[in-house]
Amino acid sequence: MPRPSREEWKTYNSVFDQHTNRLLFKLSSQGHFDELVTIIGPGKEAVVFIARKTDGTTVAVKIYRLETANFSKMYDYLRVDPRLPKLGKTVVGDPRRRTIFQWTEREFRNLLLARTAGIRAPMPIAHSHNVLIMEFIGEDLEPAPLLKHSTPEDPEAFAQRCFELLGRWAASGMVHGDLSEYNILNDNEDPVFIDFSHGAPLKAPNSIDLLRRDVENLCNYFRKHGVKRDPDDVMKDMLAHTSS
Ligand SMILES: Nc1ncnc2c1ncn2[C@@H]1O[C@H](COP(=O)(O)OP(=O)(O)OP(=O)(O)O)[C@@H](O)[C@H]1O
Ligand SMILES: [Mg+2]
């Protein structure tokens, strides 16, 4: 993958505000990475970079935008997560920033939980404020493609594996909340779930609706690729194996 041109970096300048630059400098001096090499994914809320370490290995660095993030939506999702302290008015600091920092921290925490539950997901390495460092999924500087852009050779087997991972996540009492072909990587024909910031315990008030949406997204995607799964049956199966 070629390095981004000066023009391309400029496009992502919005993530490199003074606060984030200082943070990146700190994380880099702690040895988490040496330099940002290239951009993998410019999302709405975050930009993901590949960074190289001095030993030549790579990590993924996800930077949530401080200026353009959708704070109120994030806040609404965080508010109902029973694990998190309330983002009350009494805490010092800019409430919008606090929301993004908690969003970032939640993704880190969910990734850890996912790994513990045996889900294939990037290993989280560190987080600070609006920056999350995790395992890079790919080879050399080539990220594993999104399922959306890389149809599996054996859709039935791939679907089976995705439902297995989703079931395992539900059995551990959690919902992903933003699962679709846009947040699953096809890593050499093996699914890797990413983008865990929406993840919440199943006992949170809106979680069953989120699970239903995840299941429907997967069923819709795989139906287009010749694999039939009934969302009602999948839901029943998932919920039968959870304790909530
Ligand atoms: N650990 C990783 N290894 C390789 N590629 C990754 C990794 N994490 C993310 N990506 C790539 O970066 C893109 C954006 O990442 P992600 O989905 O986490 O962010 P996003 O969609 O911008 O997030 P959000 O929905 O929270 O704004 C993904 O579509 C994927 O292509
Ligand atoms: Mg995403």
Per-position pLDDT tens, the chain of length 244? 445 666 666 667 778 889 999 999 999 999 999 999 999 987 778 999 999 999 999 999 999 999 877 888 999 999 999 998 876 654 567 888 999 999 999 999 999 999 999 999 999 999 999 999 999 999 999 999 999 999 999 999 999 999 999 999 999 999 999 999 999 999 999 999 999 999 999 999 999 999 999 999 999 999 999 999 999 999 999 999 886 5
Total structural domains within the chain: 2
For residue 171, give both structure tokens: 């059995």
* Residue 155: partners with Cβ closer than 8 Å, 6 or more residues away: 222, 225, 226, 227
What pLDDT does 59 receive? 98
Are both 133 and 76 inside the same structural domain?
Answer: yes
Count Cβ atoms within 10 A of the Cβ of residue 68 and give its class: 0-12 exposed, 13-18 middle, 19 or more buried.
exposed
* Residue 42: partners with Cβ closer than 8 Å, 6 or more residues away: 11, 12, 48
Determine the Cα angle at 116 with ends 41 and 56, to 5°: 45
What pLDDT does 1 receive? 41
Has residue 159 been placed in a domain? yes
Of 37, 39, 194, best ligand 1 pocket probe by most atoms within 8 Å of the beta carbon: 194
Are both 173 and 136 inside the same structural domain?
Answer: no
> What's the pTM?
0.94
Has residue 156 been placed in a domain? yes
- Contact at 8 Å (CB) between 231 and 212? yes
Q: Which atom of ligand 1 approaches the CA of 194 most closely?
A: 18
CB of 86 sitting under 6 A from ligand 1:
no
- Contact at 8 Å (CB) between 20 and 130? yes
Are both 163 and 62 inside the same structural domain?
Answer: no
**DSSP-derived secondary structure letter, 29:** H
What pLDDT does 46 receive? 93
- Contact at 8 Å (CB) between 50 and 41? no
Domain boundary residue among 111, 142, 173?
142
Has residue 1 been placed in a domain? no
Are both 188 and 218 inside the same structural domain?
Answer: yes
Taking the CA of 44 as reference, the closest ligand is: 1
Neighbours of ion ligand 2 (CB under 5 A): 183, 195
Are both 39 and 112 inside the same structural domain?
Answer: yes
What pLDDT does 10 receive? 65
What pLDDT does 6 receive? 64
